[in-house]
Structure formats: structure tokens, C-alpha cells
Structure 1
Amino acid sequence: MASPLLVLLWCCLLSDSPTPVPPSPESGAVRSVTAYFRTNNAAARRGPDAQRSFLRRTQHPDYRDRRCSLDGMTVTAEPALGTMRPDGEFTVAGRHPAGRVWVVGVEITVRREGVVVGRQLGSQHLVVLDGRWYGFAPCPG
């Protein structure tokens, strides 16, 4: 009779849909995404103009024409890096963006003139393209 561990190992090897493993904290992707969020949050602390500039620079090239006004608000995002994973199914208006798409859970804080006006948990998609990280500018709803 096979041991339970051997049976479990055999089942894992036969599985046709492996569970994606989140990148380790030491991986280049995690370091780069951490830097992306730190830069975004630093821009938000400097104010709406600085954040608008950051969002323009980092807007995915395929969607540079899709921008929203934050109407004087700033948006900080704290990523839950353990949730970060590739997302090859992501589309914007039915199109897959160029590059490798990642998704990460985030806690978003929206401020107007330094006062918190909203908080939300959600996910944020980022794309690495030609060694650079891009996002999709937020649009208040």
C-alpha cells in the first residue's frame, strides 16, 4: 500500500492546473512593484500635481489616451505583496495590454487636501513591459 505522502505527491504531479506560487519577497518583480507603489505614494504626499505627473509617466503606453481627473484628490496604495500573481486574462476594453500583466491586492486611501475621504480594498493591475512597470490611472467613480 502506498503511503499517503506518496499518493499526495503523485496527485500533485498529475494535476494539469498547478497553483501559481506568488513571487518571493526577494524576487525582482516584488522589489520593482514595491518601488512603484513607494513612488506613487511619495507623489501623492507631495500633492495632486505630483501624483498626476507620476500617473502620466507610468500610464501603460497602450492606454495613454485613457486618463481621468482625480479632481484634486490623491490616491495612496498599500500592496499586499503576498497576493501578487501573474494575470494573463486581464483586459481593458476587451484588449490585452502589451507586456506581462500582474495583479496585487491593495488598500487604497483617497485624500482631498490631506483629509481621508475614502478607503477601499481591491486589486490593482500592473504591467511589466520592456523592463518598466506601468499601471492604469485610477478614475473616481
Structure 2
Amino acid sequence: MRRTRRRLAVAALGLLLAGCSTQVAGRPSPATSGTPEGDRGLVEQYFTDLNASADDGASTQRDFLRRTQHPDYTDRLCDLGDLILRIEPAMSTFRADPDWVPPESGSGERPRGTVYVLGVSISIRQQGALLGEQIGSQRVVVLEGRAYGFSPCPTG
């Protein structure tokens, strides 16, 4: 009798556990954002897409820069006219920049999201002619799984 109760208890426990398990189809994969490694991939893709837009011409690149302008700074777009930018990131310099505030931010508030900084090489073209090249730093922000930039403004 005692043995029978024990077998029933083990069987009931087995049925109970079987009812509580859940199987998910597919294979596990690492997160694509929210971690520096995942965000790095989003930032790399941002520059890949930026340069692809340059290959399609000035109007396509203007549209890309408008769509990827950080949502808190959509009122600060600059008109590049017919200038085309090609930006090559030095991903080995990629790092978080948690204290950065855009210089033109009157409030001194940081942009929402995770701010990253990296070295870049920028070439500027107009109607196919190289106008100049520059090396500098650029910030890209990852917010809610998307990479955003800040539209560059030509100076003097």
C-alpha cells in the first residue's frame, strides 16, 4: 500500500511538472541591443546604411540623415545641400560616452539612450569632386534598439 501511494505520488508529480514546462521553437540567440556588443552592431549598421545612402546621391543621404536624427533633436537638422558624406568608422575606438551633452543643447541635458563615441574619417564630396577629408569623433546613440545620429552641419 505504501509503495503504491509512493508510485502514484511520483506519477502525479511527473504529470504536474510536464504540465508546467514550456518548449520554445527555434534556437537561442544573443540579444542584438541593450549591451555594448549588440549596440556595436547597430552602430556599425548605421554607418553602413549612411554610406549606402551616399552611394544613391545627396537626396537619399539627406533622407537617411533626417530619418536617423535622434528623436530629441529633430528640430536641429542642417541642410547639406548637394554635399555627400562618406564616413568610415574606426570601430576599435568605439566606447560609451555617458557624460556627453550636445554642444548646442541649451538645457545641458543628455540625449535619451546610450551615447557612444568613436573616431571617424569623413570625406566630403560635391558633384563627384572631393572637397575635403577630416578625422574626428562622432556620437551615435542607441535608443530602443535603433541607432541615431546627429545631422552634421557644415561650417564656414
**Whole-angstrom CA distance in 2 between matches of 1:62 and 1:84:** 23
**Whole-angstrom CA distance in 2 between matches of 1:31 and 1:127:** 12
Using structure 1 for the length normalisation, give the TM-score: 0.79
Match in the other structure for 1:45: 55
- Tell me if 1:96 matches 2:110: yes
Shift of 1:29: 2.2
Q: After superposition, what is the alpha-carbon deviation per residue over 1:20-47, rounded to whole angstroms, capped at 9, x for unaligned?
A: xxx6xxx322222111101000101111
Letter in 2 for 1:108: I
Using structure 2 for the length normalisation, give the TM-score: 0.72
Which structure's residues are more often helix, by fraction?
2
- Tell me if 1:28 matches 2:28: no
Show structure 1 runs of 5+ residues with no match.
Answer: 1-22
Which of 72, 79, 88 is 1:78 aligned to?
A: 88
- SS of 2:138's partner is strand
**Whole-angstrom CA distance in 1 between matches of 2:40 and 2:72:** 23
- SS of 2:76's partner is coil
Which of 60, 70, 80 is 1:60 aligned to?
A: 70
**Whole-angstrom CA distance in 1 between matches of 2:38 and 2:98:** 19
Match in the other structure for 1:131: 145
Show structure 2 runs of 5+ residues with no match.
Answer: 1-35
**Whole-angstrom CA distance in 2 between matches of 1:102 and 1:87:** 5
Match in the other structure for 1:117: 131
Shift of 1:79: 0.4
**Whole-angstrom CA distance in 1 between matches of 2:71 and 2:40:** 22
**Whole-angstrom CA distance in 1 between matches of 2:101 and 2:41:** 25
**Whole-angstrom CA distance in 1 between matches of 2:109 and 2:128:** 36
Shift of 1:95: 2.0
Aligned residues: 116
Q: Please, what is the CA RMSD of the aligned residues? A: 1.0
**Whole-angstrom CA distance in 1 between matches of 2:112 and 2:39:** 17
- SS of 2:134's partner is strand
